[in-house]
Amino acid sequence: MHDIGKIGVRETVLNKPGPLTADEYQHIMTHPTVGWRILAPLLNEMPMSLNIVRWHHERFDGSGAPDRLVSDAIPLEARIVAVADTFDAMTSIRPWG
């Protein structure tokens, strides 16, 4: 569910077999906000779930997306999903390597 916003990412970018350009990376990193917008009306009574969708690509140093949250401003549940998502990315076969 945390990556539901990827339905708004062009398939040519999502399935590109190689490194992304800077523009392609910016495009794919819109998926947390797109997912949050899709789910907000449906999960308005489940803020923890919305936090995960929106902030699972934030980084402690503020270099993440979409809101450049820093350190403890990133909700714990989003940090946990980020770790699981990273593990999945490192252990899955994906088109881009």
Q: What is the pLDDT of residue 97?
A: 52
Structure confidence by residue, pLDDT tens digits, 2-59: 999 999 999 999 988 889 999 999 999 999 999 999 999 999 999 999 999 999 999 9
Domain ranges of the chain: 4-91
The CATH code of domain 4-91 reads: 1.10.3210.10
Rounded Cα distance, 69 and 73, in Å: 6
Strand partners, 57: 65
Q: What is the mean pLDDT of residues 66-91?
A: 96
